[in-house]
Amino acid sequence: MSAAEDVARDLLARTSGRITTARLTALSALLSLGRAATHTDLHRQAPDMDRVSLYRALDWLAEQGLASRITDADGVWRYEASVPGADHHHPHFQCSRCHQTTCIEIEGGLTVRLPAGFTQEKIEVLVKGLCRTCSLVSVPLGKTTKARRPA
Amino acid sequence: MSAAEDVARDLLARTSGRITTARLTALSALLSLGRAATHTDLHRQAPDMDRVSLYRALDWLAEQGLASRITDADGVWRYEASVPGADHHHPHFQCSRCHQTTCIEIEGGLTVRLPAGFTQEKIEVLVKGLCRTCSLVSVPLGKTTKARRPA
DNA sequence: CGTGAAGTGCAATCCAGTTGCATGAAACAC
DNA sequence: GTGTTTCATGCAACTGGATTGCACTTCACG
Ligand SMILES: [Mn+2]
Ligand SMILES: [Mn+2]
Ligand SMILES: [Zn+2]
Ligand SMILES: [Zn+2]
């Protein structure tokens, strides 16, 4: 039983819900992975768990505040472990070449001035670009970009 | 021939590409609509155009800088007309009840400090919450939220 | 006009995510 | 412990946005 699994069990015990293997597996995967991962990423870590059960476990974790769910640059959900109390509103960076998502530390909350009457629930900031390793290579991976010469 | 269509034709003439009806229709729809719209929204405006052709026209417009493509809170693409030169990096607001997307004006570009070696291409800021009209009603539309009582 | 390059339409396919329903496992009371 | 209730799981089917392959049309240019 890994360290992540112990922590997971402990966190689950603090909720009003049941401690099931699916939730344990999902949460430990999130904890050990450490960064925002897609359902597919996570399912790779736990191939024996049913796809749908994983979705449901992750969504439940998000409801409980133990995970947060964001949309990545390709419109796919990404999940990451989060601390129940403090809401997890830091920006993320996604590399357009290797698609890895990185959390960005930030001092002082990002704020945007909304028009009158609007109420804010959450804010999602996603920076796209090249990560350190991909910056060096610079040639896009997969999906070859078709050159288009100006007139 | 509407005003939007005239502007559209004019903008298309500035590119190296062909001026086709699909592109004209797509761009005028974007221009007259005025806010970030989904493919489905836009197809409603031009039901006779083929779905796929609309996708391709929109993607082409995005490549040309005449439109910008963003992911909304539900992971669906949204397109909006944009000025070719100035890149279109303002925040957006999406109402969690009526799903309408609103552009948010901002003075001074949003900036985030990236880790060393990372290169930024674009930044997407999406605020979720309730728009003015929905703030008053406050009961979510569709997708009923199930209450969950703490222990 | 004729020819090549670019754009279109349609059908098929992909893929993340959801839903319905029968079965199984936690929690809790006894 | 056993029984009962409640909630979670597994499987299959389904949804809907988006993409791909390919034949056909249209446009620009000689
Ligand atoms: Mn993060
Ligand atoms: Mn906008
Ligand atoms: Zn990278
Ligand atoms: Zn609204």
Question: What are the residue boundaries of the structural domains of chain B, listed by start?
Answer: 3-135
- Nearest ligand to the CA atom of A102: 1
Whether B72 shows a pLDDT value over 70: the answer reads yes
| Beta strands in chain A, from DSSP E residues, in sequence order | 37-38, 67-71, 77-81, 92-95, 101-103, 119-130
pLDDT at A149: 30
Q: Tell me if B102 and A96 make a contact (CB, 8 A cut-off).
A: no
A57 sits within 7 Å of strand D by its CB: yes
CA atoms of B18 and A44, how far apart (whole Å): 45
Predicted confidence band of residue A42 (pLDDT cuts 50, 70, 90): very high
Q: How many CB pairs under 8 A join A and B?
A: 129
Choice between A59 and A150, residue whose per-residue pLDDT is larger: A59
Question: Exposed, middle or buried, B40 (CB in 10 Å: 0-12/13-18/19+)?
Answer: exposed
Q: Return all residues near A63 (Cβ < 8 A) that are at least 6 apart.
A: B148
Q: How far is the CA of B140 from the centre of ligand 1 (A)?
A: 27
Residues of chain B with pLDDT > 90: what percent? Answer: 73
CB B63 within 8 A of CB B49: no
pLDDT digits (tens, 9 = 90+) for A48-90: 999 999 999 999 999 999 999 999 999 999 999 998 777 668 9
pLDDT digits (tens, 9 = 90+) for B23-45: 999 999 999 998 999 999 999 99
Q: Which of B138, B78, B85 is nearest to B103 (CA)?
A: B78
- Name the packing angle between helices A3-13 and A21-33 (round to 10°): 120
Whether B111 shows a pLDDT value over 80: the answer reads yes
Predicted confidence band of residue B150 (pLDDT cuts 50, 70, 90): very low
Average pLDDT on B137-141 reads 60
Predicted confidence band of residue B7 (pLDDT cuts 50, 70, 90): very high
Q: Which of A106, A103, A137, A136 is nearest to B117 (CA)?
A: A136
Whether B1 shows a pLDDT value over 70: the answer reads no
- How far separated are the first and last CA of chain B, in Å rounded? 63
CA atoms of B101 and B95, how far apart (whole Å): 7
pLDDT at B2: 79
CB of B120 within 8 Å of a chain A CB? The answer is yes
DSSP B76-125: -EEEEE--SSS-----EEEETTT--EEE---SS----PPPTT-EEEEEEE
**Stretch among A6-15, A131-140, B1-10, B126-135 having the lowest mean pLDDT:** A131-140
Interface test with A, best of B38, B64, B121, B136 (most A CBs within 10 A): B121
| Residue with tokens 């996604």, as numbered in its chain | A94
Q: Tell me if B125 and A124 make a contact (CB, 8 A cut-off).
A: yes
pLDDT, chain A, mean: 88
Give CA separation, A39 vs A29, A49, B57, B74, in Å.
11, 12, 31, 15
CA atoms of A63 and A54, how far apart (whole Å): 14
Whether A116 shows a pLDDT value over 70: the answer reads yes
Predicted confidence band of residue A107 (pLDDT cuts 50, 70, 90): confident
Average pLDDT on A112-125 reads 94
| Residue with tokens 């909350």, as numbered in its chain | A109
CATH architecture of A3-135: Orthogonal Bundle (1.10)
- The spacing between the Cα labelled CA in B56 and the C1' in C1, in angstroms, equals 31
pLDDT at B13: 92
Whether A20 shows a pLDDT value over 80: the answer reads yes
pLDDT at B136: 87
Q: In the numeric block, which tokens belong to residue B115? A: 């880790």
Give the residues across from B119 on adjacent strands: A130
pLDDT, chain B, mean: 87
CB A127 within 8 A of CB B110: no
Average pLDDT on B60-88 reads 91
User: A92-95 and A119-130 as β-strands: parallel, antiparallel, unpaired?
Assistant: parallel
Average pLDDT on B52-81 reads 96
Predicted confidence band of residue B130 (pLDDT cuts 50, 70, 90): very high
Q: In the numeric block, which tokens belong to residue B66? A: 């005449």
pLDDT at B146: 34
